[in-house]
Structure 1
Amino acid sequence: MGLKGSKLPEARVLLLGLDGSGKSTLLYKLKYNERFQTAPTIGFNVEMFDAKQNRRKITVTVWDVGGQKKMRAHWKNFYQDTAGVLFTVDCSDLERLNEAKLELEHTLRNEHLQELPVVILANKQDVKGALTATELTEKFNLRKTCSDRDWFVQPCSAMTGAGLEDGFRRMVHLVKTIDDANIKETVKYLRSKSVKMVKK
């Protein structure tokens, strides 16, 4: 029998973005530091990472969900119990930027994702003519869209690996682990009980 207290605090993070934005390539580059020939994700990929948050070890589970139009309708099935969102944008595909912007806005409006941190991965910075992180921030009007949450735009390249670890570390820094959330819920519950008891 394992020790119950030995389990690391964990956080579940969603990796979203349009099809072709480089999510799976980015995930496997981050995990294995290798380039994988990836096919469009039908369904999802899951990878676990050990990370450090304020000097303590935590486990981060990243769910990479397919970005094709028919798959986006299922994104909401993954929102519950999510601690943060990594949203990947292909900054070299200028024709689909508006589509990516609308999907991000739609995603962040969901009740399960309210106030959760989001890190926008401004991918394909190695491609000539790609939008910079600053240009993406302006184009997506992120100061307004993300005004109710912690957010950050990380320039990166899934091909070279540049910026990936920085983006991941930023997400790790911003997320609340499951044990944090449970403690808050317990405190909330106890407070509500004590208020009722006082009224009696």
Structure 2
Amino acid sequence: GLDNAGKTTILKKFNGEDVSTISPTLGFNIKTLEHRGFKLNIWDVGGQKSLRSYWRNYFESTDGLVWVVDSADRLRLEDCRRELSTLLLEERLAGATLLVFANKQDLPGALSKDAIRE
């Protein structure tokens, strides 16, 4: 997802880590999570505009893509849709499963999952 969507926070919360001091991801972080007998190698990639051209460097052997949307950031929803559409054209992601994660649902004015789906 785009910068400030909450990608790193989600990953750290899922892993039981402290989320009180999160800073923007510059480049990427790799985490290995084990959950219910599954081992997941997760690449948390920075979403800043200056980093997006590098995203394609991480597509090799991707089984799944979690696209995080900031549900409360209505102004950037179109940018978010455009970036996801561009990613889905990548041949190396053709077999990957896509999960769109509507983050920040607890914030006032957040779009519903149905609005984001549209």
2:102/2:113 contact within 8 Å kept: yes
1:62 partnered with 2:46: no
* Structure 2 match to 1:121: 101
2:67/2:84 contact within 8 Å kept: yes
Gaps of 5+ in 1: 1-16, 139-200
Q: Which has the higher contact order (CA 8 A, sep 6+)?
A: 2
Distance 1:85 1:37 in 2: 25
Q: TM-score normalized by structure 2? A: 0.95
* Structure 1 match to 2:78: 98
* Structure 1 match to 2:28: 44
Q: Give the AA of the match of 1:38.
A: I
Distance 2:67 2:103 in 1: 10
Out of 57, 82, 87, the position equivalent to 1:107 is: 87
Q: Give the AA of the match of 1:110.
A: E
Deviations, residues 113-133 of structure 1 (Å, cap 9, x unaligned): 013211111000010110111
Q: TM-score normalized by structure 1? A: 0.57
- How many residues align structurally? 118
Larger Rg: 1
Question: More helix by proportion, 1 or 2?
Answer: 1
Deviations, residues 71-114 of structure 1 (Å, cap 9, x unaligned): 11000000011100000000100000000000001011100001
Counterparts in 2 of 1:118-197, with a 5 A limit? 118-138=98-118
Identity of aligned residues (%): 37
Q: Give the AA of the match of 1:31.
A: N
Distance 1:74 1:114 in 2: 18
Please identify runs of 4+ aligned residues in structure 1 that moved more than 2 A.
Answer: 33-36
1:25/1:36 contact within 8 Å kept: no
2:63/2:95 contact within 8 Å kept: no
Deviations, residues 143-194 of structure 1 (Å, cap 9, x unaligned): xxxxxxxxxxxxxxxxxxxxxxxxxxxxxxxxxxxxxxxxxxxxxxxxxxxx
Q: Give the AA of the match of 1:99.
A: D
1:28/1:36 contact within 8 Å kept: no
Report the aligned-residue RMSD: 1.1
Equivalent position SS for 1:73: helix
* Structure 2 match to 1:29: 13
Gaps of 5+ in 2: none
1:34 deviation in Å? 3.6
1:122/1:133 contact within 8 Å kept: yes
Counterparts in 2 of 1:63-82, with a 5 A limit? 63-82=43-62
Equivalent position SS for 1:136: helix
